[in-house]
Amino acid sequence: MFIPTDSWLNRARMFEVSKTDGSSKARLGRLFTARGVIDTPVFMPVGTQGSVKALDPRELREMGTQIILGNTYHLYIRPGLEIIRSAGGLHQFINWPHPILTDSGGFQVFSLAKIRRIQAHGVEFRSHLDGALIFLGPKEAMEIQRVLGSDIAMVFDECPPHDCAPKDAATAVGRTIAWARECREQPRAQDQQVFGIVQGGSSPELREYCAKAIVALEFDGYAIGGVSVGEPESEMMKAVEITEPFLPVHKARYAMGLGTPAQLVELVARGIDLFDCVLPTRVARNGTAFTYKGTVSIKAGFNKTDFRPIEEGCACYACQNFTRAYLRHLLNVKEILGLRMLSVHNSHMYLRLMTDIRAHLAAGTYGQFRDEFVSNYRPSERILATRKVLER
């Protein structure tokens, strides 16, 4: 069942802002999908290969996950479309009956693929896995996402490195717009939303030009891409600040691939509604935990006989049941439970942060929350460890 492309302009309201913050551009909202209403601002745990690393769907739901992200590029390479199609779509295949957003594969093609030739209608590249020659463009990316059956599909875009020449950034913006137009012409799965992506690096002119062109195409929501590509934090914030004014207020905004907890708080204040980031599960695998005061190395020696939880007051399963000393031991002897519990805590921490953000937005206290959170948050593990030694 495909919806004719004409219906792109005749869809029901997908997003509503229920409250705006008096001290910033932050908004409390609701995103309506076929598989449920999502309260925003929202964090989407990343299920790159059809699984949020080390976590199962029951845990994800228990910790408040509303929507997860799946990667078109990875799922297309393995297990491949035929298997997912036979399973009845991605939701069925991975047993996640709740909303899923899929990226278009563009980011992975430009960052992971081995050899590539950019053509008018897509990119020819070799799989990072076995070197197989693959072509992915707007048509293919939309077709794959249609088969996956995600609730929100992303357009296929070109994401150049942050330090590319201005000429290359302009070319990438041109292709991104042309490809967005092509994506829009493709059929989509029933009730599937499609978000446009704004590129343009740190150039205000390119961002404005790209945003206006993408918004003119009328998508269900808009993403800011080309952030989290190795640029300094100030540049990332600037890219969001210069793009946001050109995005319609009544559509959801998504900052792709961001960020640390303090960055999320700051990005919400800049009018962003959706986030995804691999950090919670990635740093867990290095033995690092996120807390409201910053990151802390659970593997570090100072946790040897620390029989407190990772974070006092945290309601996650790991903090309710295990001590830092035990988790440190598990990590040191490479027991899977150790990294699983850190993944549980870190993902829970991100989701709890978003719940707090929404509660403060509802109560009209976001400005105060933002100030306190950011001033208490120490991103450096070393500083936190030092502070901890001083406290004891």
State the residues that interact with Zn ion by CB under 5 A: 314, 316, 319, 345
Nearer to Zn ion, 258 or 319 (CB): 319
Nearer to Zn ion, 75 or 353 (CB): 353
Nearer to Zn ion, 100 or 319 (CB): 319
Contact status, residue 351 vs residue 55, Cβ threshold 8 Å = no
103 noted as active-site residue: yes
CB of 348 to Zn ion, least distance (A): 6
Nearer to Zn ion, 273 or 306 (CB): 306
CB of 195 to Zn ion, least distance (A): 31
Contact status, residue 191 vs residue 91, Cβ threshold 8 Å = no
Catalytic residue (choose from 21, 151, 220, 276): 276
276 noted as active-site residue: yes
* Burial class of residue 244 (count of CB atoms within 10 Å of its CB; 0-12, 13-18, 19+): buried
What is the chain's length?
A: 392
Beta bridge partners of 44: 276
Nearer to Zn ion, 207 or 345 (CB): 345
CB of 320 to Zn ion, least distance (A): 8
The answer for residues whose C-beta is within 8 angstroms of residue 140's C-beta and 6 or more apart is 122, 156
Nearer to Zn ion, 279 or 316 (CB): 316
The answer for residues whose C-beta is within 8 angstroms of residue 87's C-beta and 6 or more apart is 93
CB of 192 to Zn ion, least distance (A): 35
CB of 292 to Zn ion, least distance (A): 11
Q: Name the amino acid, one letter, at 112.
A: L
Nearer to Zn ion, 214 or 319 (CB): 319
Q: What's the rounded Cα separation, in Å, for the pair 357 and 351?
A: 10
CB of 286 to Zn ion, least distance (A): 17
* Closest C-alpha to 229, from 196, 267, 255: 255
Catalytic residue (choose from 103, 151, 157, 273): 103
Catalytic residues: 103, 276
